[in-house]
Amino acid sequence: MEILAFLFWVLIILIFYPYVIYPGMLYLLGLVRNRKVAAGSGKPPVTIIIPAFNEEAVIGKKLQNTLMLHYPRELLQIIVISDASTDGTDEIAGSFAKEGVKLLRNETRKGKTYGLNCACDLARGEVLVFTDADSMFHKEMLNLLVRNFADKEIGLVTGSTRYLSKAGDGSMVATMGKYTLFERWIKEQESRIGSCIGADGAIFAMRREYYRPLDEKDINDFVIPLNVVRQGKRVVLDKDVHCLEEHADDEGMEFSRQIRITNRTIRALISNRDMLNPFRHGFFAWMLWSHKMLRFLLPWFAILLYGVIVFLALAGSLFHQVLFFLIAAFVAFFLFIKPGGSAILALMRSFVQMNEACLLAWLKIFRKKTIVVWDKSNNP
């Protein structure tokens, strides 16, 4: 029983570590290891890459938004890559040809990552900017992005997405907006120490020389930053850089999106497991374990913890007997209640659903299933 009691506390620590202990450690480390970015005012040639599948509702607005950016037009190349769109996306994008917009089209669905590889082959810019068709920039965002590349250590800069949602405050869709605030803070702290984990696929930029062709199954906004760090350059978040995006107000859609993103990210971690070696990648490996891998293992820690609680409860521990019923009631309550209630309850509910999605993503991994293509409501 002593071994089970010890295992109980180890699992408790592992469950709380990614969301409580790790953020605290990041903050303290940032106080003594603050690597600032030496930003400048240069204007390198830029290629903006916009992947699209059936985006006729927003692609025109996106291209107008892009053409209105305050950046020298002669230094700007715009590429739209259509993944065999079947609506009016291609026609609308093609109508901007006179403005210098280049349209590439895949005749069959091959996924976002394949499209990015094709677009990068034709890119002329020293800096590549990746964005989504439904993500809108402020007119100065491009200048804010590229200013960071005055620092020779910087290989990639990410911003963050601010979601506009009509969903109620208690819905998973609305709560995910709150979760992104936490994620942004984590990436800010990681950037102070060295490099942050991952990029926001709706708004990030990199030096073209560090782009490496991706496997079609790769999740681009996670693997591209890994490749940049592997080449000895920093990946940082600029807290002043953001885009606006109207989030689909659909809980089922958001849940499916979480499964797909997690599924592809776990696969990427397995494929790039060399980056988890602290003897080769130091602080970055520790952050990768803490920010991603341990989060993805959390559902398994929770299942194992519940098993330990069952054994300890059967052994006569009143504390663990009470805990057994409390946890069962907690999970059932937050899995089946409808959106609504206080913000705290909504966050707890979303936490349970996120880990449910993570567990389902692992099951797809075990079945060797990875989602490659996407649609307009899901572009991981």
pLDDT at 338: 56
Q: In terms of C-beta density within 10 A (0-12 exposed, 13-18 middle, 19 or more buried), how is residue 286 classed?
A: middle
Per-residue pLDDT tens for 306-322?
A: 999 999 988 888 888 89
- Which three-class secondary structure string do you get for the chain? CHHHHHHHHHHHHHHHHHHHHHHHHHHHHHHHCCCCCCCCCCCCCEEEEEEECCCCCCHHHHHHHHHCCCCCHHHEEEEEEEECCCCCHHHHHHCCHHHCEEEEEECCCCCHHHHHHHHHHHCCCCEEEEECCCEEECCCHHHHHHHHHHCCCEEEEEEEEEEECCCCCCCHHHHHHHHHHHHHHHHHHHHHHCCCCCCCCCEEEEEHHHCCCCCCCCCHHHHHHHHHHHCCCEEEEEEEEEEEEECCCCHHHHHHHHHHHHHHHHHHHHHCHHHHCHHHHHHHHHHHHHHHHHHHHHHHHHHHHHHHHHHHHHCCCHHHHHHHHHHHHHHHHHHHCCCCCCHHHHHHHHHHHHHHHHHHHHHHHHCCCCCCCCECCECC
Query: How many CB atoms are located within 10 Å of the residue 192 CB?
Result: 20
Mean pLDDT, range 328-348, rounded to an integer: 70
Spatial contact of 236 and 148, defined as CB atoms under 8 Å apart? yes
DSSP designation for 107: S
CA gap 156, 195 in Å, rounded = 9
Q: Indicate the pairing of strand 46-52 with strand 127-131.
A: parallel
* Range of weakest confidence among 77-86, 168-177, 217-226: 168-177
pLDDT at 376: 46
Per-residue pLDDT tens for 91-125?
A: 999 999 999 999 999 999 999 999 999 999 999 99
Radius of gyration of the chain (CA): 22
Mean pLDDT, range 221-235, rounded to an integer: 98
Per-residue pLDDT tens for 197-208?
A: 999 999 999 999
pLDDT at 378: 43
Per-residue pLDDT tens for 272-296?
A: 999 999 999 999 999 999 999 999 9
Structural domain for 77, as ranges: 1-380
pLDDT at 351: 83
How many domains is the chain partitioned into structurally? 1
> Which residue(s) pair with 329 in the sheet?
none
pLDDT at 177: 59
Q: Indicate the pairing of strand 154-164 with strand 127-131.
A: unpaired
CA gap 274, 211 in Å, rounded = 19
pLDDT at 365: 93
pLDDT cut 90: percent of the chain above it: 73
Instruction: Give whichever of 39-43, 248-252, 290-294 has the largest mean pLDDT.
Output: 290-294
Per-residue pLDDT tens for 83-92?
A: 999 999 999 9
**380 has pLDDT over 80:** no
Phi-psi region of 316 (alpha: psi -120 to 50; beta: other; left: phi over 0): left
Buried b (16+ CB within 10 A) or exposed e, 210-247: bbeebeebbbbbbbbbbbbbbeebbbbbbeebbbbbeb
Q: Which of 363, 362, 380 is nearest to 371 (CA)?
A: 380
pLDDT band at 68 (very low <50, low <70, confident <90, very high): very high
> Global pTM?
0.90
**371 has pLDDT over 80:** no
Residues 6+ apart with CB under 8 A from 143: 43, 70, 71
Spatial contact of 143 and 70, defined as CB atoms under 8 Å apart? yes
CA gap 223, 231 in Å, rounded = 13
Pull the structure tokens for residue 114: 């394949």
pLDDT band at 175 (very low <50, low <70, confident <90, very high): very low
Whichever domain contains 256, its CATH number is 3.90.550.10
Question: In whole numbers, what is the pLDDT of the chain averaged over residues?
Answer: 90
Q: How far is CA 79 from CA 75, 157, 190, 316, 375, in A?
A: 13, 20, 31, 66, 19
